[in-house]
Structure 1
Amino acid sequence: MSLVVGIDAGTQSVKLVVYDPADRCVVATHGQALELIAGDDGSREQHPAWWIDAIRACFAKLDPALRKRVAAIGVSGQQHGFVPLDAAGKVLAPAKLWCDTSTQAECAEIMDTVGGAQECVKLAGNPILAGYTASKLTWTRKHRPEAYARLASILLPHDYVNFWLTGERWMEYGDASGTGWLDVRTRQWSKPLLAATDAQRDLSALLPPLVAADASFTISPVIAEELGLPRSVRVSAGGGDNMMAAIGTGNVTPGVLSMSLGTSGTLFAYAAQPIVDEAGGWAAFCSSTGGWLPLICTMNCTVATEAVAKAFGFSTRDGDTVMADTTPGAHGLVMLPFFNGERTPDLPLARGGLFNLDLNNFTRANVYRAAMEGATYALRNGYDLLQAAGMGFDAIRLTGGGSQSATWRQMVADVFALPVEVPTQAEGAALGAALQALWALEKTSNADADLAAIAREHVQLNTALATYPDAQAVAAYRPAYRQFLRHLDDAKALYAERQPASG
């Protein structure tokens, strides 16, 4: 009769999923929207209290009878964010988020200190990119010196939610690898990179202990009482949203490629060993399952389609209808959807562009299609890197809000020339957090509990949403994609001139 809960603290909202392992079904889903503080300098911030208030609101919507049956909770959180705490556990400043590009100069400073981006890859497996946690420390030291002077704990967003739930501070390897400080090969903090971030302070003393992916902790009695939960509830290690989405799409063994169409776009796959690109073309992360998770991240996905829909006065819910009469290639329109700068390729100062406009193709339908295609092409560009490294896949597991669009599913199948599978549960990160919680719960009584077996049993595919490439469309997208790449090359040249120098 026990239930497990997955919480996904994202950028746009907090989502709560309640899963019944016995009946293999989601019994409740609730969400709460979040605000975003956006600055002209590329800063993107949220108050951590907003996440907690949203979680409270989600639990308040949950039937008390269901709350009493909860046995374990797992937390997924947007990666890379910096939550600064003082010695008493109080938040010192708003959290700078994954999509914050205001710290590019600090990225360059850290990398230059150790000898450049390639030396960073040698030290930890990844360069220090805009959005990663490391540069946020240097930025805070410069721009919020009072908060930095009182800094006693460095937490990531999902760590902070765990801290609120349990009163304990910890970090797990998947989310920790997104700080820029963790050597993903050894799973140890890189002392040179910590020193390069602040040579005057031992930052390792501010980082919480690293725990295994199957670890769990008891909920705080005060929080259990407040939320109407049993005091016996276990809180699993949790992880970054991409790591949890990997679990939620069954991507816990080699051979599966997952794609998330959310605020950001991501491609990721499971690996049994570190897969590091010397050129830093992808993120060489650890997973939240005990393995590794090579990952491509683009910073603009549904951001682009939502921006266009808002500008033309319609809802993305009607997007498929709006673009019903358009064809692959958007009648020649090409969009570089870099509204938030870009991470893959590393162009944090880039901005969006719309090309090849004429009096015939400039319609809301074509512009909307160009936004969707641009977001998809950006992910295809990252996929090309994985293919060049020798990775191959037979299908794509699609999750995130964009996966609910039939047109987008078909576009992904055609642009990638691969079948698309869609898990029954659209909220892959929240479901993944719930399944990790189930794994941790089973580990308390069975040391041999296997996450791969849990994923096989509980991640179901919606056969009605399965989508296959259309040969005509596959052919039509090839020249359109090449045109996108030509504009991308121009953008690289343009915005590279504006980047702070590094190594």
Structure 2
Amino acid sequence: MSLFVGLDIGTQSVKLVAYDPDTRQVVASAGQPLELAAGEDGSREQRAEWWIDAVRACFGRLDPALRARVAAIGVSGQQHGFVPLDRDGNVLAPAKLWCDTSSTAECDQIMDAVGGPARCIELAGNPILVGYTASKLPWTRRHRPQAYARLATILLPHDYVNFWLTGERWMECGDASGTGWLDVRTRQWCGPLLRATDPDFDLAACLPPLVQADALFTIAPATADALGLPRNVRVSTGGGDNMMAAIGTGNVSPGVLSMSLGTSGTLFAYSDRAMVDPAGRWAAFCDSTGGWLPLICTMNCTVATEAVARLCGFSTREGDALLAGTRPGADGLLMLPFLNGERTPDLPHGRGSLFGMTATNLTVPNLYRAAMEGALYSLKAGWDAFVDAGMRFDAIRLTGGGSQSAVWRQMAADVFGLPVDVPEQAEGAAFGAALQALWAYLRQHDPTADLAALAAAHVRLDPRLSARPHAEATAAYQAQYQRFLSHLDAIRPLYAG
């Protein structure tokens, strides 16, 4: 009757699920909101202690009898964040996050130092995009020199939570891919890119060891006592939130396309080989199972819908009802929802735009629909690159907050022209972390334990939440999507530098 806990350290909240694999039920869940410090320069930061306080709060809401049954914990975390530690494990500065665009210039400086984006892709498989961890190092050197001078360890958000849980420092290749320094083909750190980031500092010495996806560590006794957990609880490697969401949606074998509609929007698929695009149209990441995870990420998904809801004085929970009288295409109203700058398409200096306004279509419902549609059009632009590369999919597995909206689900099915299925467990990243912990735990006793088989047994779809594309709506969205691409081409020069 062991339980396996998945923690997801997100941008907006920390979530916990406790899963019983014998009954195949999530027996408890908890969440705790997080603050976000935002600056006019594009900075987006959180303090690492906020994550720990939230983890404590989530465990505190679990019944002590359930905590006593916990066998292993897996941690999912927002990718790309930079947590700087000194030699004693103290955090030196606030963590700069994935959605931080203040280090855009540093991205170009690193790539220029190795010969440009194409050379960067040759070296490691990815360009250094806005938000990636690499650019945050020279930014910190310039703006927080005292912290940089004491830097001893570079951790990502989920790595830091693992460090707090166990007292040990490590990384796994999935989340490490998002630093920009990992050669995803060889799963080794790329020396030329580390030197390009800082030629005068040995950054390689600050990076913790890379471990296998099925590695297990023991919780620190003091942490176990503080959380009311057994001292023999094990902690799996965990991974980035996208890597964990892939596991949580059953995306651990070729042919499945997962879509996450959260603060950011993502599309990702499993591959048994490194999927590197010479043009850098997608992120060529490793996954957290030993495979690879080609991924499209947009920085503005529910960011846009929440901004409209806040502006117009309603809750996004009311969004579906609000859109009951609207039609695909929002009566011609079109939004490019680049409120945080954008990664896909690559417009780090981009800003949101609204087009096609008339005296009759500029209504609150149409504005909200245009925000939803614009978020999906950005993802579709990335999906087109997958299709161009020969990737084929039969259906979409939807996760994230947007998956709980009937309108989002139907809109995704219609925009992409594919059936949409939703796993029973809405918190795909937290559930995936729990499954990874279960897999690693089982492999202690049976090295042949197969994650694909495990996911097939435990990831169940909810037929009540499925959506199938409607041909008429798909045609309407296709026409509006072409307008989206035309307007995107028109505004690119405005935000090119």
Q: TM-score, normalised by structure 1?
A: 0.98
Which residues of 2 match residues 80-119 of structure 1 at below 5 A? 80-119=80-119
Which residues of 2 match residues 101-250 of structure 1 at below 5 A? 101-250=101-250
Identical aligned residues as a percent: 73
For each residue in 1:282-307, what CA deviation from the matched residue of structure 2 results, as whole angstroms up to 9, or x when unmatched?
00000000000000000000001000
In structure 2, distance between residues paired with 1:151 and 1:15: 30
Displacement of 1:491 after TM fit? Answer: 2.1
Displacement of 1:89 after TM fit? Answer: 0.2
Q: Which residue of 1 aligns with 2:447?
A: 447
Q: State the SS of the aligned residue for 1:14.
A: strand
In structure 2, distance between residues paired with 1:277 and 1:495: 24
For each residue in 1:364-413, what CA deviation from the matched residue of structure 2 results, as whole angstroms up to 9, or x when unmatched?
00000000000011111100000000001000000000010101100000
Q: Which letter maps to 1:176?
A: A
Displacement of 1:201 after TM fit? Answer: 1.1
Displacement of 1:280 after TM fit? Answer: 0.5
Question: How many pairs are equivalent?
Answer: 497
Q: Which residue of 2 aligns with 1:275?
A: 275
Displacement of 1:247 after TM fit? Answer: 0.1
In structure 2, distance between residues paired with 1:25 and 1:482: 43
Q: Which residue of 2 aligns with 1:258?
A: 258
Q: Which letter maps to 1:280?
A: G
Displacement of 1:493 after TM fit? Answer: 2.3
Structure 1 gaps, min length 5: none
Structure 2 gaps, min length 5: none
**Which consecutive segments of 4 or more residues in structure 1 shift more than 4 A?**
none
Q: Which residue of 2 aligns with 1:52?
A: 52
Displacement of 1:354 after TM fit? Answer: 0.8
Displacement of 1:232 after TM fit? Answer: 0.7
Q: Which letter maps to 1:253?
A: S
Q: Which residue of 2 aligns with 1:417?
A: 417
Which residues of 2 match residues 325-404 of structure 1 at below 5 A? 325-404=325-404
In structure 2, distance between residues paired with 1:138 and 1:69: 45
Q: Which letter maps to 1:317?
A: R
For each residue in 1:445-466, what CA deviation from the matched residue of structure 2 results, as whole angstroms up to 9, or x when unmatched?
1111111111001000001111
Q: Which residue of 1 aligns with 2:312?
A: 312
Q: Which letter maps to 1:118?
A: A
Q: State the SS of the aligned residue for 1:324.
A: helix
**Aligned: 1:290 with 2:290:** yes
* C-alpha RMSD of matched pairs (Å): 0.5
In structure 2, distance between residues paired with 1:32 and 1:488: 37
Displacement of 1:444 after TM fit? Answer: 1.2
Q: Which residue of 1 aligns with 2:483?
A: 483
Q: State the SS of the aligned residue for 2:268.
A: strand
For each residue in 1:230-270, what CA deviation from the matched residue of structure 2 results, as whole angstroms up to 9, or x when unmatched?
01100000000000000000000000000000000000000
In structure 2, distance between residues paired with 1:162 and 1:464: 36
Q: Which letter maps to 2:112?
A: D
Q: State the SS of the aligned residue for 1:263.
A: coil
Q: State the SS of the aligned residue for 2:325.
A: coil
Q: Which letter maps to 1:233?
A: V
Q: Which letter maps to 1:41?
A: D
Displacement of 1:488 after TM fit? Answer: 1.0
Q: Which residue of 2 aligns with 1:12?
A: 12
Q: TM-score, normalised by structure 2?
A: 1.00
In structure 2, distance between residues paired with 1:487 and 1:369: 18
Q: Which letter maps to 1:349?
A: H
In structure 2, distance between residues paired with 1:230 and 1:297: 38
Q: State the SS of the aligned residue for 1:323.
A: helix
